[in-house]
Amino acid sequence: MGTQQQTKAFHNLIGREWMPSSSGETFTVINPADTRIELGVCQQSNEADVEAAVEAAKQSLPGWSAEAAPIRGQYIAKAASLIEERTDEFIKQLIIEVGKSYADAKAEVIRTVRVMRFLAGEAERLKGETIPSWDKEVIGYTKREPVGVVGLITPWNVPLAIAAWKIATALTCGCTVVFKPSSQTPLVSLQLVKAYQEVNLPAGVLNFVTGPGSTVGNAIATHPDIKAISFTGSNKIGLAINQLVARRGARFQAEMGGKNPFVVLNDADLTLAVEHVIAGGFGESGQRCTATSRVIVLPGIAEEFITLLKERVGRMKVGNPLDEGTDMGPVIDKGSMESILSYIEIGKKENGQLVTGGSRLTEGDYAHGYFIAPTVFRGITPEMTIAQEEIFGPVISVMEANDFEQALEWANQVEYGLSSTIYTNDMEKAMRFVNGIEAGFTHVNMPSTYSEPHFPFGGIKATGIGGMREVGSTAIDFYTEYKTVYMKPHNQP
């Protein structure tokens, strides 16, 4: 997998200048597949850096918000085309920085381009309403205006696409941005920011500040001039930020954890269901909020399904994600690896039956990376820890319900409500599932991870805060305010 590479330093973007942090401190980004490889040195920013970024965003806000909305959209569309032209560069960066397989990295780049193009188009659809008045001489209508300077805090697991859709929506709506990426994966986010620079986005409209959430994230959350914050990440951090933002009455949107169920009924195509469980549970090493975590099967097909699943997992190739034949790469870092392994041990102690996997891979090429064997448990019941808590790794729990009603009950028996899926040819049961599942979006005979950029994305229950969805036409609601206008001509003499 290679050896030590020369390490390059990267700076914050504030206004039109690339500059080091005022703290003088830095941190190093590591390749999770081979921790001997340092990918870059980034800035350990502090409150003063956030202050400077906010000031730059404030200065650019009047001009950017006054720009014709379709013109704003053109910057996004041009940046999307630039990313598409450099697909291979972005794929490689996702692979070496996040540990994604080639297929997963390519899918994220494609998703990024599509979502940016869709949101660029929303700049031509920032429409209000013309509403009849009780007074026949009054013309009444509504118009959308940007909420102001916004803070965007993005996660490490989907660092390109999520950053892309938050930034694109904010820019479309006329907001200016202070953007903090995850410290585990800031470099691919930096490539996104540079794409906007190359299409001549006005200085100060998009500002980029790296550093720890406890410092940079908190400074964004508490800054009085940041009018709205969009966050994607863990429940613990999201709830903490929500408290900080609520104290000053700013707007907050959060997409957080998931514990997504995958229900398989007796009439399902088991071969297809197994393939989609693999894709949903082990794609991106299970490090997705939409990942398949719980597979709920019925007695009639349980044994056959588990046998097929074990056999299919046995054919997976875990290894160097730069190899296009690799199905699953490493997890993101040592802390995540240790957390996942601890959940596996909890599953064993709670009498879960380990079907396959269950350990760290350490031999040969695995020796210097954070690799975990794809893991399957069976005999899991709803009260068990691994059936309730988000593991965020390559661990699937198979649960054996008595009937459809119990399967639906178990599917809902968690605090989260993001994604879900059911496999069946019985459309009556499929619709009962669609109507009864407690989730922000759901699927029939499709993987739990499937989504498209022109549909709303988000969850309910403990998954989401703010009640406003990302992506889709409704994404603009979070970044805009409505202004109501009443117009009446002067009476003529």
d(Cα 297, Cα 270) in Å, to the nearest integer?
11
Report angle CA 438, 439, 445 to the nearest 5 degrees.
105
- The span from the CA of 22 to the CA of 11, in Å, is 11
Which DSSP letter does residue 420 get? -
Is 173 among the residues known to form the active site?
Answer: no
Catalytic entry in 173, 289, 390, 438: 289
Three-state SS for 435?
helix
Rg (CA), the chain: 24
Which residue in the list 97, 108, 255, 470 is annotated as catalytic?
Answer: 255
Determine the Cα–Cα distance for residues 458 and 454; give it in Å rounded to an integer: 13
The four Cα atoms 26, 32, 36, 38 give a dihedral, to 10 degrees, of -30
- 356 pairs with which residues across the strands? 376
Q: Beta strands 375-378 and 353-356: pairing type?
A: antiparallel
In terms of DSSP H, where are the helices of 329-403?
A: 334-349, 385-388
CA distance 90 to 72: 24
Nearest to 184 by CA among 340, 323, 28: 28
Q: Residue 354 has which token pair?
A: 């380990």
Contacts of 15 (CB under 8 A, 6+ apart): 52, 56, 59, 60, 203, 204, 207
Token pair listed for 490: 């002067």
Residues whose CB is less than 8 angstroms from the CB of residue 90 and which lie 6 or more positions away in sequence, other chains included: 83, 105, 109, 112, 160, 188, 191
As annotated, the active-site residues are 255, 289
